[in-house]
Amino acid sequence: MSANSRPVGVFDSGAGGISVLKTMTRLLPREDFLFYGDDKNAPYGTKGPQEVRALAENAVRFLLDRNAKAVVIACNTATAAAAESLRARYAMPIIGMEPAIKPASGCRKGGIVLSMATPGTLKSEKYRRLSEKYGEGVVPLPCPGLMEFVERGILDGGELRDYLQRLFAPFQDQKVDAVVLGCTHYVFLRSVIASFFSKGTPVLDGNLGTARQLQRRLTEEGLLAPEGQKGTVTILSSGGEAFEKRLKALYDTPLMEELPGPEALQ
């Protein structure tokens, strides 16, 4: 197998990275993708940095053993904890996630930006640097337990809405100009999250930026899939066959809003 024909490895602590995978397959339809959901060790967001780094290292080795030509860390927590050490160790392209604080900052009109993320992401050095640069008016909002709704297949309903009602209650009298989805799981909840804010309030994620960065790095390294190759998607899980079936079902579930059209992905 030529280097160009090898798969792109993608991993997350569970199901959230499926939302990133869907965007990448839209942007790079010729690529083969191998997704690894580490359900057995989810969630990462409440674990310490050292433990997350060890889990990320295991995931990368799993993907390398299956001939990955590049790796996408489809998890904000794992990116913050492990991306730098992984890049120092491996020569292949390693792409991470970044909360969409920079684009959200351009949406401010005197109000605040809510930055929803796991406690692990919000405590990270990477997030601190990003916030220092673009974080004026950004309010970090830790969301312990929110990703588990997606893991359980709950994408709407009373239990989820009650959780979000409590989460957003302190901001009901404030002007919210934008919301950042700083965890890949939250993308599947975009519509229900948006329903708590004024119509038209931007609800932003970093998925497309990550997909574009993958495209740039594969181009720079001469690793783009060859013309005529029809891309495939393989989904595996540390949690066994039942989790793999659930991840595949989620991959087949439309996102809560349309992905950008082909012209927006160029």
CATH architecture group of domain 3-97+207-265: 3-Layer(aba) Sandwich (3.40)
**Among candidate residues 240, 224, 251, 130, the one with its CA nearest the CA of residue 180:** 130
Give per-residue burial for 200-214: e unless 16+ CB within 10 Å, then b: ebbbbbbbbbbbbbb
Rounded to 5 degrees, φ, ψ at 16 are -60, -40
Q: What is the pLDDT along the chain (266 residues), one digit of tens a residue?
A: 677 889 999 999 888 999 999 999 999 999 999 999 999 998 888 899 999 999 999 999 999 999 999 999 999 999 999 999 999 999 999 999 999 999 999 999 999 999 999 888 898 888 999 999 998 999 999 999 999 999 888 999 999 999 999 999 999 999 999 999 999 999 999 999 999 999 999 999 999 999 999 999 999 999 999 998 899 999 999 988 888 998 998 898 776 444 444 444 44
- Nearest-angstrom CA–CA distance, 254 and 265: 18
What pTM was computed for the model? 0.88
DSSP letter, residue 263 = G
Could you tell me the residue ranges of all domains in the chain?
Answer: 3-97+207-265, 101-204
Over residues 115-144, the pLDDT tens digits come to 999 888 898 888 999 999 998 999 999 999
Return the CATH number of the domain spanning residue range 101-204.
3.40.50.1860
Among residues 60, 113, 167, 183, the one annotated as catalytic is 183
| Integer Cα distance of 135 and 128 in angstroms | 9
Exactly one of 20, 75, 178, 223 is catalytic; name it: 75
Q: Looking at the DSSP assignment, which residues form a beta bridge with residue 203?
A: 179
Tokens at residue 182, please?
A: 């700083």
Report the C-alpha gap between 13 and 185 in whole angstroms.
10
pLDDT digits (tens, 9 = 90+) for 61-97: 999 999 999 999 999 999 999 999 999 999 999 999 9
pLDDT at 204: 94
The yes-or-no answer to whether 3-97+207-265 and 101-204 have a common fold is: yes
Query: Active site includes 183?
Result: yes
